[in-house]
Amino acid sequence: TPASAAPAAPSKPQTPQYSADDDYTAVWSRADALKLKQDKTNTAPRVSPDFPVITDKVWQWDTWPLTKLDTKTATYRGWHVIFALTAPRSVPFGDRHWYAKIGYYYSRDAKSWKYGGDLFQPGTAFGSRQWAGSAALVGDKVYSFYTASGHDNGGVNPNDPLQRLALATGRIHADTTHVWFTGFQDHRIIAQADGKLYQTLEQSQQGPIIYAFRDPFVFRDPRDRKVHLLFEGNTAGVAGTYQCTKRDIGDVPYGHQVPDNAKYYTGNIGLATADGDSMDHWKLQPPLLSANCVNQQTERPHLVIRDGKYYLFTISHKFTFAPGLSGWDGVYGFVGPALRGDYQPLNGSALVLGNPEDAPTQQYSHYVMPNGLVESFIDTVPTADGGTRFGGTLARTLVLSLRGNRTRLTHQLDYGFIP
């Protein structure tokens, strides 16, 4: 086990190799984030205010496809299936988080989605609402991971930020007209913040932005063959006690001052590993990447493994950057030599796709698929009369080219195309 990350000597380039259990966390530094700059390769096109809506029943936001454990999207008997956070459209758009439930949708052509209703039977899930997750198909069994958000039976309560990772298993069924699920009766809490590797709710109380222990993303690492979860966490310890390190700050331009409040911003990308394919027990591992003193939220982390390289993506907001830094609502990314390794920010700064300046919250919750297609939901779109239109439906799918440590937006496709 390498004790420290010794930088490779320039004459003999060599990348340290780590395993999932090693204690090495890559860093998104302030120096990286100071390079954030928009150009046409990383700025999303404006979302047209006349976008179509998938269903008038529910707001739809964070969305994930049914996948195989190799992260590729799966079909079942010719059906494409996606899962999403949903809330009745009768709830104000901004309050949807406190009513969120996982809904499912199915389609023949991967873009004309039919809303199928709630995934879980009432009263079976942990938490008082469900936040983002992932779903893996193994045979006809579906492993549905989600964030049990809020205390059990906590009701609608925006002041209850508890988050735990949960798993429920069920079965998928389909005929020529529709897709449905059975099971999902046996829910389990599989991971909780421990206060040593990941900040607990109690430790977070002083922080200015909601803490995180959420958004499990399941995959099998082709190298160690183990099943793992990525998730969004915060660095353990009482909020405000973190001390920004030289590594967190990085090689910043001369004169760059780190504001004292930067210590409150401690987002990370966490890792948990299953003890076997039955996924019965999970072990928390040190974070893969931290954004200490850079950003409080590295939400919905996910992974694309291509040509032996590990592309780690996460969504983040403009308002969650630490003082003295600024970015865009959008998707950020890193590339590394292995699941755990010295991840480098894509495009120098990590920005992959950000919202345009004149529509800063037009879309969010981007999810990059192994085929380079990026789905996201429409959030709040400026209209010609100076007002706004809320989305709560899928945005046009954006196409990304991924080469080495660079990404480039190439074009856009249909609304909600998730093949």
Contacts with ligand FRU, residue ranges (CB under 6 A): 61-62, 85, 97, 100, 131-132, 147, 214-215, 299-300, 364-365
Nearest of 267, 254, 173, 283 to residue 213 by alpha carbon: 267
Active-site pick, 62, 221, 248, 375: 62
Backbone angles phi, psi at 319, to 5 degrees: -80, -5
DSSP-assigned beta bridge partners for residue 75: 80
Cross-strand bridge partners of residue 353: 331
Q: Is 62 a catalytic residue?
A: yes
Q: Which is nearer to ligand FRU, 133 or 170 (CB)?
A: 133
**Angstrom distance (rounded) from CA 376 to CA 61:** 8
For residue 319, the minimal CB distance to ligand FRU (Å) is 12
- Do residues 131 and 231 touch, judged by C-beta distance below 8 A? no
Catalytic residue among 32, 221, 232, 299: 299
Q: Residue 251, exposed/middle/buried by CB under 10 A (0-12, 13-18, 19+)?
A: exposed
Task: Give min distance, CB of 12 to ligand FRU, in A.
Answer: 41
Residue 330 vs 345, nearer CB to ligand FRU: 330
Pairing of strands 344-345, 330-336: antiparallel
Least separation in angstroms between CB 27 and ligand FRU: 21
Quote the least distance from Cβ 300 to ligand FRU, whole Å.
6
- Rank residues 215 and 221 by Cβ distance to ligand FRU and give the closer one: 215
Q: How far is the CB of 165 from ligand FRU (least distance, A)?
A: 11
Nearer to ligand FRU, 131 or 219 (CB): 131
> Which residue lies nearer to ligand FRU by CB, 285 or 376?
376
Q: Measured between alpha carbons, how far is 204 from 206 in angstroms, rounded to an integer?
A: 6
Distances (CA, A) of 269 to 185, 215, 252, 283, 397: 29, 10, 23, 15, 25
Catalytic machinery residues: 62, 299
